[in-house]
Chain A
Amino acid sequence: MTAALQITELRKQYPTGPEALKGVSLTIEPGEFFGLLGPNGAGKSTLIHCTTGLASPSSGAIEVFGHDAIDHYGKARQLVGLAPQDLNLDHFLTLEETLDFHGGYFGMPKKERKERAAELLDAFSLTAKRKERTRTLSGGMKRRLILARALMHRPELLILDEPTAGVDVELRLELWQYVQRINQEGTTILLTTHYLEEAEQLCSRIAFINGGEIVAEGTSPELARTYGVSSLEDAYLELVGRKELSRASMAEISS
């Protein structure tokens, strides 16, 4: 079966600074909910940016459902939806326009754009605000709109770059429910997050990335076993070399 995302020996060297990706290879199967975890600066966003055309890889290959995502990217981009970490909404546009233009950039005809936008605004409880400019939205609403925008063109691979950063508990749970549902409906999901419980709860498989390299990959229990610990959190702390912060160590200190 063709992989949803196939990354081979991906390297990215920014003009200044160390190599951000050092030959990363990664395969995500269709229908998977895949988590990418790692500390800040590990290369998570760079990997996502290379996949979505926001960064140019120095070398390597990226294929989305068998289509080249680097040079002849038309088909691949059509299949990918990106909800970026930054709230990168255009302040001049209304919510409806934000979705409508996005659909247009992906070649959706007008009637389909209108219907899809209405459906998503409703699904994310944004219909009442549809004629307002995006700058009037609260942080949580912006986050929801960004997810709606990523879903607008019905991508088969949805990339969520820290989608719940800075959102309140109820919105986080709401977003979890929504992405779980679309995953069950067949959309492949690549999620980066700093919330380990989020990864544990949502992801069928997780990769640890550190210093521009994939250092471990598997299910949450498999990763714990790899590091000889009992939880994903402890495995992560081993990864970043901060095992003294584990709950067991903290309990020892306080006892």
Chain B
Amino acid sequence: MSAAQIRFFSLLRREVSRFWKIKRQTVGAPLLETFLYISVFGAALGSRIKELEGFDYVVFVVPGLIMMAWATNAFSNNSSSILQQKFQRAIDDQLSSPSSPLELLLAFSFGGFLRGMLVALLTFTASAILVGIPIEHPFVLLLALFLVGFFFAQLGVLVGVRAEQFDDVSFAQQFVLQPLIFLGGVFYSASLLPEPFETITHFNPVYYMIGTVRYGFLGFDEESVTLSLLGLLLATGALFALNLRLFRKGYRLRA
């Protein structure tokens, strides 16, 4: 391995080891949360709702839950990890190393990305065993999930870099992210909503993300999957470019 590869993998290993050491909180808790949703919305409510858009209600809900698991874990891992290291000033060890801004950004990004992927994968495996989830368009599914994971990993980095206290991170998570995800159609189809809520939902970017992931699993789409993926790709690219700029400038990282 070259020195640059050793550097990058050490930075990434540090991020993975952080969440793995507290896996009850970082992997176990989100997994339990997802299963509670499946139990409540699938088993309890689902038995009354029967079908939605031609699918068992629980089958309709699971793709959104998998995406939500990846997104929230990628976000919260990166925002907390960066803020925590800023607080302890432990981040100075990485910042004063020969690592480039790009290496630092990618390592922080992939820490959360991998945590999200792990929780999503475990959720999928268990759901597939319990309720049987089809995968109609595997390539679209993988592309959509990877983009969503990377988008929220970037968002987590951005919030972590900008944050000055833990309240800033929890505000972003509880008051922005969570409502956008919940109101983005994880638990229902937007077409069931009365006006003006159906129209308002179309302004929520998470709605399109859930749509592409659901299409990948179930083959069901409400909006153009191609346009949604393109929009997601552009948004992720823009966020990555912004973060790279902030890392290059050392915004709230270097004095």
Contact = CB atoms under 8 A, between A and B. Distances in A.
Interface of A: 14, 46, 49, 52-56, 73-75, 77-78, 80, 82, 84, 86, 88-93, 97, 100-109, 149
A109 B6 contact: yes
B89 A97 contact: no
B111 to A, nearest CB: 12
A107 B14 contact: no
28 contacts: A49-B254, A54-B92, A54-B96, A55-B254, A74-B98, A74-B100, A77-B96, A77-B98, A78-B98, A80-B96, A82-B92, A84-B89, A88-B90, A90-B14, A91-B88, A93-B14, A97-B17, A101-B10, A101-B14, A101-B93, A104-B6, A104-B11, A105-B99, A106-B98, A107-B3, A107-B4, A108-B6, A109-B6
Given A56-B254, A89-B88, A149 B17 contact: no
B1 A55 contact: no
B21 to A, nearest CB: 6
Given A54-B255, A105-B97, A90 B7 contact: no
Contact of B10 (A14, A49, A74, A105): A105
B224 interface: no
A88 B93 contact: yes
A78 B100 CA distance: 12
A131 B222 CA distance: 54
Contacts of A106: 7, 97-98
A49 B92 CA distance: 10
Interface string B1-34: 1111011011101100110011000000000000
A104 B13 contact: yes
B204 interface: no
Given A54-B255, A106-B97, A107-B7, A92 B13 contact: no
Nearest to A110: B6
A55 B255 contact: yes
B26 to A, nearest CB: 11
Given A56-B254, A109-B6, A149 B89 contact: no
B125 interface: no
B85 interface: yes
Contact of B94 (A46, A105, A149): A105
B95 interface: yes
B13 A101 contact: yes
Nearest to A51: B96
B231 interface: no
A56 B250 CA distance: 8
Interface string B84-128: 010011101111111110000000000000000000000000000
Nearest to A15: B255
A74 to B, nearest CB: 5
Contacts of B21: 92
A75 B14 CA distance: 23
A104 B15 CA distance: 13
Given A74-B98, A78-B98, A86-B89, 11 more contacts: A49-B254, A53-B254, A54-B92, A74-B100, A84-B92, A88-B92, A97-B17, A101-B10, A104-B7, A105-B93, A105-B94
A201 B211 CA distance: 70
A78 to B, nearest CB: 5
Contacts of A105: 7, 10-11, 93-94, 97-99
